Amino acid sequence: MNKPLSGIRVLELGQLIAGPFAAKMLGEFGAEIIKVEPPVKGDPLRKWRLIHDGTSVWWQVQSRNKKSITLDLRQAEAQAVIRSLVKEVDVVIENFKPGALEGWGLGWEQLQAINPRLVMLRVSGYGQTGPYRDLPGFGAIGEAMGGLRHLSGEPGRTPVRVGVSIGDSLSALHGVIGVLLALRARDQQGGQGQMIDVALHESVFNMMESLLPEYAVFGEVRQAAGSSLPGIAPSNAYRCKDNKYVLIAGNGDSIFKRLMAVIGRNDLGNDPALENNVGRVRQVDMIDAAISQWTGEHALDDVLAALNANHIPAGKIYDVADIADDPHYQARGMILDSTLPDGTPIKLPGIVPKLSATPGEVRSAAPALGQHTDEVLADLGIDESTRQAWRKRGII
């Protein structure tokens, strides 16, 4: 069965997270991904986090369904290879600092001249324009500038990161949307490609809900609120008798009444002052205290059983062990069993989104560094003797 992106060829020039994550998603839905890595060391992600047999296990997620070739983009011969590949691909993905590709003669204008159908995704800290364009920017900086870091953590304490590189991943997702839109526009407009400019901080800012309009209208500067959901009540994490926490989202009007019945507080559920969110927010501390008293008298499993039976949105706080053992994750194909190159078993995340007719798939494991260099260069007509000479010079 053809996949949605079958026939689309992608040249990935990015490293680490944002650009490669975008290419990973395109590859899962059928695109051919040719990943360019620096010779010898490769993508730095190969050495990030926990290492098995010399390579990060993260690599097995981020680089599945990709071909790896090595090229030193600082050298003229490697730049010529990129130009040759650009003639044959649909998409180029890069997340270098703005101006880096232009310095190698591989900027948008140069590549578009080679292939007018080209779609180019450029991910950077601050975007390709603007006064901050040339500043170095990583995901953590984008999260801070986009407003997320200010809201993360407990009130009055040091702002914290959310635990993963969410700024990079959000930028990758926006990049994937941009690529799909640009490919659609190309089909509609006679084959003309375009450039997609994704900034890390803008991708985070796009997730900030009502942050800006609340400031504009009310002068409200939203602050960190810990586990609660400011302005929406009740929605919080509550300690149970066994010192585990339950998340309860009882903020719908009818849900709130059912929640109060479960915890034995029909007086609150029937209070006209609490019949809608506006009134509940005014008395959120009192409501949270009532819920906490009830959860503190019961173990987490009993709390969840009671809430689920009454159709009240609730859940425990999962760690990765919970995820790996959860039957719902397994039933939906979100835990994939695989093996590392040396045969070591490994579990990998499944694929989202889930398409009913043309679902994504893992066609190949993450490649060894330069595993496909000879194959790709040979297809371009670069003979073996030339490739050997390039290896001696560190070009590949």
pLDDT at 99: 96
What Å distances lie between residue 116 and 57, 64, 108, 195, 218, CA to CA? 38, 29, 10, 11, 47
| Structural fold of domain 9-206+332-393 | Rossmann fold (3.40.50)
Active site residue 271: no
Q: Give the pairing type, strands 235-239 and 245-249.
A: antiparallel
Phi and psi (nearest 5°) for 46?
-60, -20
Name which of 325, 323, 320, 346 is nearest 64 in CA terms: 346
Alpha-carbon span 64 to 349, nearest angstrom: 11
pLDDT at 1: 65
DSSP β-bridge partners for residue 136? none
Alpha-carbon span 368 to 61, nearest angstrom: 13
Q: Give the pairing type, strands 32-37 and 66-70.
A: parallel
Q: What is the pTM of this model?
A: 0.94
pLDDT at 137: 87
Name which of 121, 119, 122 is nearest 194 in CA terms: 119
Q: What is the pLDDT of residues 156-209, one digit of tens each?
A: 999 999 999 999 999 999 999 999 999 999 999 999 999 999 999 999 999 999
Which stretches of the chain score pLDDT less than 70? Answer: 1
Stretch(es) of the chain classified as CATH 3.30.1540.10: 235-316
pLDDT at 17: 96
Q: Domain 235-316 class?
A: alpha beta
CA dihedral 48, 49, 52, 56 (to 10 degrees): -40
Chain centroid to CA 288? 33
Cβ distance 74 to 102 under 8 Å? no
What average pLDDT does the chain have? Answer: 96
Phi and psi (nearest 5°) for 8?
-85, 130
Q: Which residues contact 143 (CB under 8 A, 6 or more apart)?
A: 149, 161, 162, 166, 167, 200, 201, 204
Write down the catalytic residue from 43, 90, 168, 197.
168
Q: Can you read off the two tokens belonging to residue 111?
A: 């590549």
Stretch(es) of the chain classified as CATH 3.40.50.10540: 9-206+332-393
Helix-helix angle 253-262:284-295, to 10 degrees: 40
* Number of CB atoms found within 10 A of residue 49's CB: 9
Alpha-carbon span 292 to 94, nearest angstrom: 49
Q: What is the pLDDT of residues 70-129, one digit of tens each?
A: 999 999 999 999 999 999 999 999 999 999 999 999 999 999 999 999 999 999 999 999
